[in-house]
Amino acid sequence: MAAHSPKKILIVEDEADIARLVKLYLEKEGYQTTLARTGLEGWKALASERPDLVILDLMLPEMDGLELCKKLRGRAETALLPVIMLTAKADEADTIVGLELGADDYVTKPFSPKALVARMKALFRRLDRQDDDRPSLYRYGHLVMDLSRHEVTVDGRETPLTAKEFGLLEHFLRHPGRVLTRDVLLNAIWGYEYYGTTRTVDVHVRRLKSKLPVLNQAVVSVKSLGYKLLEPEPASPARR
């Protein structure tokens, strides 16, 4: 069996001591690392290095972490790239914005490299499960999507969808809680050869909500980016 190549991690951090510590620890754990000291360097490194995960500080020169996160989520090639943000406790509001922009997790300074690696491994495991165990059936509240039968039902009643609406809904259900930009949705559903505008996505989202009112509050618009399907609420325990 061929050995897996080590995962590549891009570290975007301007504090030299923290950057050096994280880099050394990750390499000790068997990861390949690239270090960028500014947001602009990090943006350039995304294209040249093609990392598997980004460790991104919030406070950066030239381009801050929030702006860099927003830009990478806006590119089809990096829209689903895992991002862990490094924040200070005083940056709670910025942390929330970072998660809204699509960061997958965050670690508060000061932190131990061991804790950071544990977060990384947990994130990779979650993403690997999504890739390896793609279900044929999705459930979201009373909504059920059966891929094998190409059928969507709400409370057992089928709702006919066009092929594009069906693909759009599947993409939302595959990535709950993730900000999906209009460009990413356009490329995923319509393909790279499609030359329409991103307004096409807005029209189809409205049609999808019209046909499936259960999504009216669940699919939310993220200003200047795209859309997000809210994480489903956990089911309440049954009363005896």
- The pLDDT value recorded for residue 133 is 54
CATH number at residue 127: 3.40.50.2300
Residue-by-residue pLDDT tens, the chain, 240 positions: 445 688 999 999 999 999 999 999 999 999 999 999 999 999 999 989 999 999 999 999 999 998 998 888 777 778 778 899 998 866 667 777 777 677 878 888 888 898 899 888 888 876 665 555 566 889 999 999 998 888 999 999 999 888 788 889 999 998 888 888 888 888 778 765 555 667 888 989 999 999 999 999 999 998 878 899 998 776 544 444
What is the model's pLDDT at position 239?
43
Instruction: Identify the domain containing residue 214 by its residue range.
Output: 137-229
Is residue 186 situated within a structural domain? yes
Structural domains of the chain, count? 2
- Residue 193: what residue type? E
> Distance between CA 130 and CA 65 in Å, rounded?
26
- Position 119 in a domain: yes
Q: Are residues 94 and 177 in the same domain?
A: no
pTM of the entire predicted model: 0.62
- The reported pLDDT for the residue numbered 131 is 55
What pLDDT was estimated at residue 240?
40
Confirm whether 111 is domain-assigned: yes
**87 with 16, same domain?**
yes
CA atoms of 222 and 200, how far apart (whole Å): 16
Return the bridge partners of 87, or none.
108
Q: What is the pLDDT of residue 15?
A: 94
Same-domain check for residues 104 and 156: no
Query: Do 193 and 80 share a structural domain?
Result: no
Considering the domain boundaries, does residue 2 fall inside one?
Answer: no
